[in-house]
Amino acid sequence: MNTLYYGDNLPILKKHFPSESVDLIYLDPPFNSNRNYNVLFKDESGTEADAQITAFEDTWHWTQDAERLYHDVVTASLPVSGLLSSLRFTIGTNQMMAYLVMMTARLIELHRVLKATGSLYLHCDPTASHYLKIILDEIFGFDRMRSEIIWRRYGGFKRSSAKKFPHKHDTILFYSKSEELTFHPQFKEHKKEYIRRFKKDDQGRLYRDDVNPTKGGRRIIYFDEVEGDLIDSLWTDIFPINPLAAERLGYPTQKPVALLERIIKASSNEGDVVLDPFCGCGTAIAAAQNLNRKWIGIDITHLSIALMKYRLKDTFHLEPKKDYSVVGEPEDVSSARQLANDDRYQFQWWALSLIKARPAGAGGEKKKGADKGIDGLITFIDDQSGKGKRVLIQVKSGHVKSGDIRDMVGVLDREKAEIGIFITLNEPTRDMITEAVSAGYYHSEGWQRDYPKVQILTIADLLNGKPVQLPPTSTTFKNGNSIVREPDQIYLNL
């Protein structure tokens, strides 16, 4: 069954993946770019909210863990072990070395899980691509390097004071496990001017008469029989996700579906298994699903797992558990408590995903949204003005008291928000419930219904499927009396 795994891909690969079980691997790991990647959310009115949260950090350090992993790889006596110790000698124990050790351990596992006919595409940039290539040469064999693809990322050039040429491409290193690889050459689409030279026959098939002077005759050429130009290793025809692209989810480093579709079509067949061990907002997963491949995604943040779940629902109407499995998410209160103890933000992102709320943060700081008393947001439109109205969410994993509910009422007032949802891991006290009830109701003109102004839900409630009471978020009221159904836009097209 198609599966999403939450967690670090190294132990997950070791524990869950038999050898030679995957047909195609695409990985787009952090590049060692020394940046924090922020997620930007836009609210439904289309204006860019200043809500930013750090999705993942791309900064590496030489720590005890790096030292341990280095030890594991070097003592495994693999061909790459010698290379890694030479690199340490040359590079030293610094951020780059920490990154390369992290990558080497994972690439060894990825090579193991790949079938003999399988291929791996490693997406990287010039920061470390030269080191990654020699590491892959050692793991796969230098003669298994099939292509070094240059993906030219278009985009405006800013005037820069840096004394270098602006950097506008990524490198995708394509290796096969053996000479028996699955590979289908890909062809470019025909240019419009070329297509215009064809006419339709009675059956609607495009054709053209071709005068062939060397053979002194004519022949009919059918459009569907002519291949476009062969795609080579320089990819200049796929545009990165721009700020207005329909497929844009607001996840940093999101790659275009077209890029992944090209890779998947070239190196797999229908029904094959595609694995993305650093899957972010799930571009490889979406492309694999489009092309009738099986898929497995792994990511270390709940933010990404939540985004993928929404993407799969909104694009393909797929539901977790029914249509695919999710491994590593809390299934009961005690594992939710464990997650909260391990990492408060992961817990928060996971809890918000249970009610399809988007995380709130500001200025790229994880903490700031929480400081304002808002951890998450849902927007709905329920009257003909088309104005987006807000549901504010607080998530608590520790001790809770009635003062928290009073504070929430204050925040709703201050922020002029319609409804507040208070998610708590611990059971609420009787006073809290009374306080919430006395906040009264929000009356929706559009739906002619009342909704409790402050709603308390425990994690146990949510795990048991208890719903929040909100006006539908997937409906837009247009001018006039008609109600137009639109896809859920909580995350997609924000």
Ligand X SMILES: C[S@@+](CC[C@H](N)C(=O)[O-])C[C@H]1O[C@@H](n2cnc3c(N)ncnc32)[C@H](O)[C@@H]1O
Which chain residues interact with ligand X by CB under 6 A?
A: 8-9, 28-30, 56, 251, 253-255, 278-281, 283, 298-301, 304
Q: Please identify, using beta-carbon distances, which residue of 52 and 254 lies nearer to ligand X.
A: 254
Q: Which structure tokens are listed for 205?
A: 């098939």
Neighbour-count burial of 166, counting CB atoms closer than 10 A to its CB (0-12 exposed, 13-18 middle, 19+ buried): exposed
**CB atoms near residue 154 (< 10 Å):** 11
Q: How far is CA 397 from CA 377, 419, 428, in A?
A: 18, 21, 12
For the CB of residue 86, give the shortest distance to ligand X in the complex, in Å: 25
Per DSSP, the three-state class of 50 is strand
Q: Please identify, using beta-carbon distances, which residue of 261 and 382 lies nearer to ligand X.
A: 261
For the CB of residue 54, give the shortest distance to ligand X in the complex, in Å: 10
Q: Please identify, using beta-carbon distances, which residue of 60 and 131 lies nearer to ligand X.
A: 60
Q: Please identify, using beta-carbon distances, which residue of 283 and 455 lies nearer to ligand X.
A: 283
Q: Please identify, using beta-carbon distances, which residue of 253 and 289 lies nearer to ligand X.
A: 253
For the CB of residue 434, give the shortest distance to ligand X in the complex, in Å: 42
Neighbour-count burial of 388, counting CB atoms closer than 10 A to its CB (0-12 exposed, 13-18 middle, 19+ buried): middle
Q: Which residue is nearest to ligand X (CB)?
A: 280
For the CB of residue 293, give the shortest distance to ligand X in the complex, in Å: 16
Bridge partner list, 174: 121, 147
For the CB of residue 32, give the shortest distance to ligand X in the complex, in Å: 11
CB 441 within 8 A of CB 452: yes
Residue type, 125: D
Q: Please identify, using beta-carbon distances, which residue of 9 and 267 lies nearer to ligand X.
A: 9
Per DSSP, the three-state class of 455 is strand
Residue with tokens 């997963």: 285
For the CB of residue 249, give the shortest distance to ligand X in the complex, in Å: 8
For the CB of residue 137, give the shortest distance to ligand X in the complex, in Å: 23
Q: Please identify, using beta-carbon distances, which residue of 106 and 389 lies nearer to ligand X.
A: 106
Q: Which structure tokens are listed for 232?
A: 């080579």
Q: Which value, to the nearest 10 degrees, does the dihedral of the CA atoms of residues 208, 211, 215, 220 take? A: 10
